[in-house]
A = this chain, B = another copy of it.
């Protein structure tokens, strides 16, 4: 399957843990985003379903093991390690925020507690899966909020970072708030609504624009969207309008939308087609959409491609997967890093969501348990227990609904496209800070 889809050092470390007798020692790793990009006030968690698929199917084929044995890095590794790889299955526990949960920097999106060898090998795939979809769902939420109720269709597969990234971007964009996608496989695989009618090549393939429009209407009926900007947008709109219904409407893919959309609207209205809608596309993003909406430009739906499928203004999230707890036969240790640049807080954590703030605490805390304490939702939920799915995962519709509800709870300032100041309040619990201090003392003691 995808067992080799990992950084080689995960596998050399796995061999090293095995040779050092530590392969079965349990490690807890947390996946979190260190710092949000400058223009993000939150992220929308996504990608968990693919992460779980990976863990459930993690196994090495004979061919993959033979490949590893032939690498110089494994020349000194003893045969029992390769037997262990042959038998490797993911047997650990996974806790995660359900897809669609709004999250912030420093909050674990996913926690893996598993034998060191298993948890280490999974690092690369889990990071790539969760981070990418989270990034796209987040971008989609921004774009959808800017569109203020108008439908946004994800159009970006051709510009995505590989075709498969396009499929996953469509999935994540739907979770984040898009109404659908142009990616047909995403529709088939995940049940996402799919949209699409015709490109400029369609218009060009016929002797005249009118002929192209007429033919499209014969095939698509009420789903027809005439792309009117191949030659001259207003002339194209007039030709589309002259044909009348049935049609959904027209699409503008270039030009000054502030001028063209009202002019096209008038053409449609004057032709007795007030129901015909206008879709706009062409290098759109949340900022341009916000301007168009603010100006009251008569656009009914947006198609967003490149910017959405690549999160072009923030094309990566600095997500990491850090070892925070070790358990060797019940003896616990708490690793941590204290360099100025890259601190890691020790211990397995939980994220508690109060009405107006989040608190990151130790996983065993219960801040709502004291009499009179405020209610908090524990965001990290059991997903896999001893390698088995704890319960069926929510589907994309449920994830999308969760994102909508989760976003609706955010204060007004967080919905703006610019950075909120102050950012959403995320605090560490007193118990977690005490554990950090104790760990620091112990590590300093050990290093003296």
Interface residues of A (CB under 8 A from B): 2, 4-13, 15-17, 19-20, 22, 25, 27, 29, 54, 64, 67-68, 71-73, 75-77, 116, 120, 123-125, 127-129, 131-132, 155, 157-169, 182-185, 187-188, 194-202, 204-209, 215-216, 218-221, 223, 229-232, 235, 254-255, 306, 310-312, 315-316, 318-319, 321-323, 326, 335-339, 341-342, 443, 446-447
Contacts and interface: CB of A to CB of B under 8 A. Distances in A.
Contacts of A312: 315-316
A157 B124 contact: yes
Nearest to A22: B205
Given A9-B199, A160-B128, A161-B160, A205 B323 contact: yes
Contacts of A163: 2, 5, 54, 124-125, 128-129
A196 B12 contact: yes
A443 to B, nearest CB: 7
Given A6-B184, A73-B223, A198-B9, A127 B159 contact: yes
Nearest to A20: B215
A287 B407 CA distance: 38
Given A5-B163, A13-B199, 20 more contacts: A5-B157, A5-B164, A5-B167, A6-B157, A8-B195, A10-B199, A11-B184, A12-B196, A15-B219, A16-B220, A19-B215, A73-B197, A77-B219, A128-B158, A162-B162, A165-B165, A201-B335, A231-B339, A254-B342, A312-B315
A10 B168 CA distance: 19
A337 B220 CA distance: 25
Contact of A17 (B22, B68, B195, B205): B205
B5 A166 contact: yes
A125 B166 CA distance: 9
A200 B13 CA distance: 10
Contact of A166 (B13, B64, B128): B128
Contact of A7 (B16, B158, B207, B223): B158
B341 A196 contact: no
A331 to B, nearest CB: 11
A7 B220 contact: no
